[in-house]
């Protein structure tokens, strides 16, 4: 991807080669949806629980840490439950501004450990999840959740990763 910034605030993220994971997850997600990765603009903030709790409070009114947050550059969600989001339109420069994603190290690491998964696999899933939010997918109701979870499973499967929703997987990530 040409314009993908990864901002690492917490050095513990270096243990999973986050830039490589993020690049791979973003490219796989965009290609799966028929989008050109080189035309996408995206920023990933790799922070800790304290920072993400503050962001979660500021933007969602929830004063607690969470695994992933996303801020789409444009509202693309479908008005119909389970419907496809609005199409992505490039700007005059041919680029598509997608938005921003933030990940919290401690929460992600604790979730991976609790699920007995490699941290890299869990983080890859969360990046795919966050990027789908930027593209207008959500999990606010069952039809939307089924669509989004199905896409996550397909994308991760193409990347050689297990279905995150099989056996007690989380329903409705942030």
Range of the domain at 137: 3-158
Residue 172 lies in a domain: no
The upper half-sphere exposure of residue 121, i.e. CA atoms within 13 Å in the direction of its Cβ, equals: 17
Distance of CA 80 to the CA centre of its chain: 22
Residue 97 lies in a domain: yes
Residue 1 has a pLDDT of 63
- Tell whether 139 is in a known binding site: yes
Residue 96 lies in a domain: yes
Give the tens place of pLDDT for each residue, 83-109: 999 988 888 888 999 999 999 999 999
Residue 166 lies in a domain: no
C-alpha dihedral (148, 154, 156, 158), degrees to nearest 10: -160
Q: What is the CATH number of the domain that holds 68?
A: 3.40.390.30
| Domain count within the chain | 1
Residue 165 lies in a domain: no
Name residues of the chain where pLDDT drops below 50: 169-172, 174
Residue 169 lies in a domain: no
Residue 158 has a pLDDT of 97
Residue 12 has a pLDDT of 96
Residue 142 lies in a domain: yes
Task: Encode 31-64: b = buried (16+ Cβ within 10 Å), e = exposed.
Answer: ebbebbbebbbbbbbbbbbebbbebbeeeeeeee
- Tell whether 133 is in a known binding site: yes
Cβ pair 46, 7 in contact under 8 A: yes
Residue 166 has a pLDDT of 83
C-alpha dihedral (125, 130, 135, 140), degrees to nearest 10: 100
């Amino acid at each position: 991807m040409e314009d993908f910034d990864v901002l690492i605030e917490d050095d513990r993220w270096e243990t999973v080669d986050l830039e490589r994971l993020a690049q791979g997850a973003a490219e796989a997600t965009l290609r799966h949806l028929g989008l050109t990765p080189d035309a996408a603009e995206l920023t990933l903030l790799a922070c800790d629980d304290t920072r993400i709790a503050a962001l979660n409070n500021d933007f969602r009114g929830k004063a607690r840490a969470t695994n992933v947050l996303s801020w789409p550059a444009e509202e693309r969600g479908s008005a119909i439950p389970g419907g496809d989001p609005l199409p992505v339109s490039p700007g005059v420069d041919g680029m598509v501004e997608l938005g921003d994603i933030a990940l919290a190290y401690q929460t992600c690491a604790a979730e991976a450990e609790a699920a007995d998964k490699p941290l890299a696999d869990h983080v890859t899933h969360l990046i795919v999840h966050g990027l789908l939010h930027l593209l207008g997918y959500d999990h606010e109701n069952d039809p939307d959740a089924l669509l989004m979870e199905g896409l996550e499973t397909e994308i991760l499967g193409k990347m050689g990763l297990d279905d995150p929703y099989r056996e007690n997987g989380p329903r409705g990530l942030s």
